[in-house]
Amino acid sequence: MISTNSQVTVLLFQRDYFTRKRRQFSNVNMFTKNGLHYLPLKDVMEILEYDILRTTHTGFVITDGSECITIPKSGEAARRENVTLRIDPLVVLNKQRYITLRSTNRLFNVDFRLNYKAHRICIKQPGRFFTTLSGDTLKKLSQLFNTTVKNVLASNTQLKEPIPSGTRVLIPAGKLAVMAANQKDKPVKIKQLPEPELAPAILALGRTLLKKPYQFGAGPYPRTGKFDCSSYTQYIFGKNGVRLTRTSRSQARLGRAITRSQIEPGDLIFFKRDRYSDNRIGHVGVDIGNGYMLNTYRSPPGVTITKWTSPYWLSRFVTAREIL
């Protein structure tokens, strides 16, 4: 068994747009305490490409562009967007904060396998399973998986409450609940501008940023010079007085839901992404007309124009929102 303190190699097997990748991270510190295995939080964030959105006196808010995760500096109450869930408390060692592998599974939608003899951790993204802790309920699982209790039970026929800690729950695939029935559309704050039609100005600004590099979970554009999909839409709308939230998941709750046939230039279009198995919205673009959108999802090409009416994107289409 791996000693209490050791270094391991982390292998990340990742599925994403059009690709499958294998990435290796060497000499990652790990320690074991009370049977739980811990990795440095900063290394986990780097491996899975998360950026710190803000730090408070109680915790950290991080994002990969799809959703915001709040991790407490102490205690067990974390959040994924608007869903609270338990994690193992972070541990501080040599002035670094460490997170357990099972908390990594619960927060980041990944599976892991630890090979003691080889000093190796394999991480699969997306993960197929979710490891429960005491207090998890069917309703909470359905919220974390962006689906319904019925779909959770259909994929886990033996699952019942109370759910034992340590249960491996299979995440229902392709069972997206687009909008919960009790989830109301959120208004968007719009600054009063002389020009009544904002869409042309937003799209014009968006075009000036073509080929700007993509970075998954990108920090603010003025600091990084890079975008992910939702920071790009947030930026071009924000520069024209329309305040959007940071993540694609939260942007999909803004404005008014519209059908595909109602989409017009300036509307936001949302898609699933192969990087996730928990049915979340993972990508957003802004329609420019004739079945095309401004968006960014990899570099090259960075910010680009994509035909969202192609079979690839239509098979991943979730919803569209009228913001303006």
Average pLDDT of 48-65? 95
pLDDT at 79 over 80: yes
**pTM beyond 0.75, yes or no:** yes
The mean pLDDT value of the chain amounts to 92
pLDDT at 293: 98
pLDDT at 44: 98
Q: How far is it, in rounded angstroms, from Cα 293 to Cα 268? A: 9
pLDDT at 248 over 50: yes
Share of the chain above pLDDT 70, in %: 92
CATH architecture for the domain at 5-128 = 2-Layer Sandwich (3.30)
Tell me yes or no: is domain 199-322 CATH 1.10.10.10: no
pLDDT at 169: 98
pLDDT at 1: 46
pLDDT at 238: 97
Average pLDDT of 222-236? 97
Residues of the chain with CATH 3.30.457.10: 5-128
pLDDT at 177: 52
10 Å CB burial of residue 120 (0-12, 13-18, 19+) is middle
Q: How far is it, in rounded angstroms, from Cα 215 to Cα 213? A: 7
pLDDT band at 251 (very low <50, low <70, confident <90, very high): very high
Tens-place pLDDT, residues 287-306: 999 999 999 999 999 999 99
pLDDT at 180 over 80: no
Average pLDDT of 264-280? 96
Average pLDDT of 257-281? 96
Tens-place pLDDT, residues 131-177: 999 999 999 999 999 999 999 999 999 999 999 999 999 999 875 55
Residues of the chain with CATH 3.90.1720.10: 199-322
For the beta carbon of residue 230, count every other beta carbon within 10 angstroms.
32
Per mean pLDDT, which range of 25-29, 216-220, 242-246 is the poorest? 216-220
Tens-place pLDDT, residues 184-223: 455 555 444 434 489 999 999 999 999 999 999 999 999 9
pLDDT at 186: 58
